[in-house]
Amino acid sequence: MDSLHTQDKKYILNTYNRGNLVIERAEGSYLYDIEGNKYLDMYAGISVNNLGHDKKIAEIMAKQALKYTHLSNYFVSEPVVNLAKLLVENSFASKVFFTNSGTESNEAAIKLCRKYGKQFDKNKYELLSAYNSFHGRTYGSLAITGQEKYQNSFTPLLSGVKHFVYNNVESLRESVSDNTCAVFLEIIQGEGGVIEISQEFIDEVISLSKKYNFLIVIDEIQTGIGRTGDLFAYEKFNFSPDIVTLSKSLGGGLPIGAVLVSKKLEDIFALWDHGSTFGGNPVSCACGVYVLESILNSNLLEEVKQKGALLMDGLNSIKKSYPNIIKEIRGRGLMIGVEVNNHINKIKELAQTKNLLLNSTANTVIRLLPPLIIKIDEISQFINIFEEVIFELSNC
Ligand code: PLP
């Protein structure tokens, strides 16, 4: 029989650049391949497995699945209500709409913003977002993703979208007008290379939103649910967004997304304005309740800050020794970008030979997104291996 990789190539559209491993199982911060090798996982499924590869998720799934896996959104469902309640009670939001993915959360938000704008003026439909942002790959989310490389083959895109330069106040001012209905923002651009928003910029967004009456939509699909050491990354900036979009880690590995809306937006969507067959799947929501309760009823957020600081310290000392390879280290909590220019592929390759799995983004950035439950000795293990990798590279 053909290998799994050969069959994967034969039967599945070629849209992902798969690695060469075949993973058999995962536990905690580690992945195990079919040959029995153990790898330290610094991807966490690209910020999905925030609680690590947690066996408790399987129990929660089974418990809910034995009751029912799906009913349709014509029925109320306890895990769905419980998850919404937890999200509302622990954020700015007053209500929630559930989706299945990040891009769907942003699609729902786009529709809501446009309907909000139309209440005031038929021309108040413009959506603004940053260059270098990433908001998803369906048409609305793709249009607000400010990266031509994802868009060019698929034009014409959704119209009424403008982009500004991230963290550039002048560029923002030039883009907004009375026709702006919403500004979409990542607090830390993830796909764009782990670049954090500045206080000055967010202040300007808030001030302009009052002047021009537009909504502030924070895309926390990658940064949300504890990744940065706060439940939501926006909390650091001490303001209240109008909308927050979520997905990725919310379901502990199961597909789910959410749109959190403020009080003033509660009634923008009327009956049948939006919907989704699977949105708010009860099994995913039951896992979401477990994820949120695990974070809220523990010291995990504080630990994320401490572990992030430890990682930063270790990386900075490697940078000091190898300034020609490591150009910059940035990020917050356990979302850290290491700028390594064109060394990226070699670093990933070498790391894998030493049982360390690294994710990269924006062509030149190692993006560290370990499980939030990573242990202190696993961080030391990472730092040691990473140093060996950079040392070997420096001798190449
Ligand atoms: N928004 C951000 C900030 C993301 O990082 C991603 C995915 O990486 C998305 C949106 C899209 O999410 P999904 O892949 O679930 O559609």
Q: Please work out whether the CB of residue 102 comes within 6 Å of at least one atom of ligand 1.
A: yes
Per the DSSP assignment, residues forming a β-bridge with 131 are 146
Give 210-245 pLDDT, tens digit per residue.
999 999 999 999 999 999 999 999 999 999 999 999
Q: Please work out whether the CB of residue 253 comes within 6 Å of at least one atom of ligand 1.
A: no
Give 343-386 pLDDT, tens digit per residue.
999 999 999 999 999 999 999 999 999 999 999 999 999 999 99
H helices of the chain, in order, are 4-11, 44-47, 56-67, 78-89, 102-118, 139-144, 148-151, 169-175, 199-212, 282-296, 300-321, 344-353, 376-394
| Ligand 1 centroid to residue 106 C-alpha, Å | 9
Q: Please work out whether the CB of residue 132 comes within 6 Å of at least one atom of ligand 1.
A: no
Q: Please work out whether the CB of residue 79 comes within 6 Å of at least one atom of ligand 1.
A: no
Mean pLDDT of 186-199: 98
Per the DSSP assignment, residues forming a β-bridge with 196 are 188
Please choose, from the candidates 86, 45, 25, 88, the residue with its C-alpha nearest in 3D space to the C-alpha of residue 287: 86
Q: For residue 136, which atom of ligand 1 is closest to its CA?
A: 11
Please choose, from the candidates 171, 169, 103, 192, the residue with its C-alpha nearest in 3D space to the C-alpha of residue 142: 103
Give 272-290 pLDDT, tens digit per residue.
999 999 999 999 999 999 9
Q: Which residue has the tokens 């030493």?
A: 354
| Ligand 1 centroid to residue 135 C-alpha, Å | 6
Please choose, from the candidates 361, 97, 72, the residue with its C-alpha nearest in 3D space to the C-alpha of residue 246: 97
- Taking a C-beta distance cutoff of 8 angstroms, is the pair 196, 331 a contact? yes
Q: HEC profile for 62-123?
A: HHHHHHCCCCCCCCCCHHHHHHHHHHHHCCCCCEEEEECCHHHHHHHHHHHHHHHHHCCCCC
Please choose, from the candidates 102, 321, 346, the residue with its C-alpha nearest in 3D space to the C-alpha of residue 218: 102
Give nearest CA residue, ligand 1 atom 12: 102
Which residues, 6 or more positions from 56, have their beta carbon under 8 angstroms from its beta carbon?
290
Task: Print burial letters for 45-82: b (CB count within 10 Å at least 16), e (below 16).
Answer: bebbbbbbbbeebeebbeebeeeeeeeeeeeebebbeb
Give 1-39 pLDDT, tens digit per residue.
899 999 999 999 999 999 999 999 999 999 999 999 999
Per the DSSP assignment, residues forming a β-bridge with 335 are 332
